[in-house]
Chain A
Amino acid sequence: MVEGSADLEMTTQNISPGMDLDDKTRAELERAGVIVTRVDFLYNWSRSNSVWPLTFGLACCAIEMIASATSRFDMSRFGSEVFRPTPRQADLMIVSGTVTKKMAPQVVRIYNQMPEPKWIIAMGACAISGGPFKQGYNVLKGIDRYLPVDVYLPGCPPRPEAVLQSLNYLQNKINDQDIKADPAFTKGRRQYPVPEFTGTDLEPPYNPEVWSPPENPNGEPVVPPKKTAA
């Protein structure tokens, strides 16, 4: 069991937090078959326990993603075994593996096709930052340049247990969502601009809405002092 609201038991105390109901009224209501709760709680509880991921494998990590769904690790314990081949039916996109510059427009397009609410797990070092292939000319240095990532899952590749843990983190995150304020529920389906692959690079290089280059904390670039002959 993981700490957090994901695994709270369905007692009346827990499902109606903040309601100033005394125990007597509550018991009476329960006897009549009425449970008082917040919409947020009920909605998030059902959402977080039936996250449907997209069947979407990019590279090595995809194999570990499949392994985490198979019988030994059994992702269905957390309600996520229903891998959907079409983005229209999926809630969660696990970006599993290296995103190359040729592939990045397709990844963004698939994300745009997913209905709200939708989440992203960046799985593996490559999806987070380019990983071991970061020096390469054809590798996108992190999918978070174009899409809002919810959970970063490091490893090369991460073990299936780590995939399950990242799913738990995501469930906690979903449980903390405020339906009234969350952009997933207020703004309609979020669409992110699809970058264009020009043959050598992506245009634009990143989406300023979700990512900006880190600032140099020192302001000026640090130049190492020149060695002088002693």
Chain B
Amino acid sequence: MGPHHPSTHGVFRMDVKLDGETVVDLKPVFGYLHRNHEKLAEDMSYLASMPFTDRLDYFNSMTNNWAYALAAEQLVEIEVPERAEYLRVIMAELTRLVNHVSLVGFFVNDLGALGTPLLYAFREREKILDLFEQASGARMMCNYFRFGGLRCDVPEGWLDRAREVTDRFPKFLDEYEQLLCENEIILSRTQGIGKLSRELAISAGITGPMLRASGVAYDLRKVDKYGIYDRFKFRVPYGEEGDCYDRFMVRMLEMRESIQILKQALADIPEGDIMGKAPRVFKPKPAEVYGRIEGPKGELGFYLIADGTPKPYRYRVRPPSLINLTVLRDMCLGQKIADAVVILGSIDIVLGEVDR
């Protein structure tokens, strides 16, 4: 199954050995989008890497920015102002909505429902992208976060528009759930397919919705409480079986929780500065830091080694997509070839992040 595949997950190849229609062996081949992200970052200043993090996982530029900013802020201990923290949470949760909504569209696309669900998903996605564009000036590559805050404040009336989008979103989710969640074809194509056991998920280092679908209620927003996530009330949905249906449903339920967080954050957001006291020249002392957040796809971490110069000595990304992809073989063995595509879709990979 070659690098150019209709399932639009990007340039990814699976070497599949078949017995009839059953998968006997599977070997993922990637590297078709290796863009030297880490090597380039070692040759430029800390801040100059920020726009490149946008292009890691190109659905979720805001959360990528946040993970990187979180790591770099540990290097020089910058205080982030209150309003910026709130806006960061708002942006991250909007990003989660964008990611999950398009994931569900692509996932159902992989199941064979070509077009329609994806069009619905992109219709909602556009509304959120409009918000991003008003705030940061770009639809996809936002480059909005800075060390110690945000690049600029949101324009006048933005918060009202964000509230409007947040209020309307559940209606769309209702419609989507009604169409998909009890759809007989989806049930029979996803239930019991691609099971991932709890033990394997933990030992393979799986994170994010995939881990939670396997029955582990582990969410960095609850565990680390980075930013100001300790102030919000939300639940962590998790599955029992660890099959494709659970992974799909965990994401549907997570969107509801994101809306809860958004509503609380948009109600409480204070006035004030959006940029902390960051040094003009970012030149940290020698140190090693690791900053991680709960990205929409899993734990996204940045590991930086500073050596006292304005450039990082080592810059390493912990991409959730790549590590979640490692169990693809275990999930696909013994399944039918048509289900392999569904399983791949349920992992939610983005090749920009897998290959970097």
Contact = CB atoms under 8 A, between A and B. Distances in A.
A168 to B, nearest CB: 20
A153 B6 CA distance: 23
B3 A138 contact: no
Interface in B120-170: 122-123, 125-126, 139-141
22 contacts: A57-B11, A59-B58, A59-B351, A60-B55, A66-B8, A67-B126, A70-B119, A70-B122, A72-B122, A98-B35, A100-B32, A100-B34, A102-B31, A103-B3, A103-B32, A110-B4, A132-B55, A135-B36, A135-B40, A135-B43, A136-B35, A159-B139
B123 A70 contact: yes
Interface string B13-56: 00000000000000000011111110110010000000110010
A157 B52 CA distance: 13
A25 B327 CA distance: 74
B58 A60 contact: yes
B118 interface: yes
A151 B4 CA distance: 22
Given A59-B10, A70-B123, A137 B39 contact: yes
Nearest to B59: A63
Nearest to B2: A106
B59 A133 contact: no
State the main secondary structure of chain A at its contact with B.
loop
Given A63-B58, A67-B126, A136 B40 contact: yes
A72 B121 CA distance: 12
A103 B8 contact: no
Contacts of B123: 70-72
Given A62-B10, A97-B33, 11 more contacts: A56-B4, A58-B10, A59-B55, A60-B140, A67-B126, A70-B119, A71-B122, A72-B126, A135-B40, A138-B35, A139-B35
B215 interface: no
B33 A98 contact: yes
B284 interface: no
A92 to B, nearest CB: 15
Nearest to B57: A60
Interface of B: 2-4, 6, 8, 10-11, 31-37, 39-40, 43, 51-52, 55, 58-59, 118-119, 122-123, 125-126, 139-141, 351-352
B10 to A, nearest CB: 6
A132 B122 contact: no
B134 to A, nearest CB: 14
A137 B35 CA distance: 8
Interface residues of A, number: 32
A135 B43 CA distance: 10
Interface of A: 55-60, 62-64, 66-67, 70-72, 85, 97-98, 100, 102-103, 106, 110, 132-133, 135-139, 156-157, 159
A95 B11 CA distance: 12
B36 A133 contact: yes
Contact of A70 (B39, B51, B118): B118
Contacts of A98: 33, 35
A98 B40 CA distance: 15
Contact of B119 (A57, A63, A71): A71
A106 B4 CA distance: 8
Given A60-B352, A70-B119, A72-B123, A55 B6 contact: yes
A112 B10 CA distance: 21
Contact of A100 (B33, B58, B139, B140): B33
B122 A59 contact: no
A59 B56 CA distance: 10
A57 B43 CA distance: 29
Contacts of A62: 8, 10
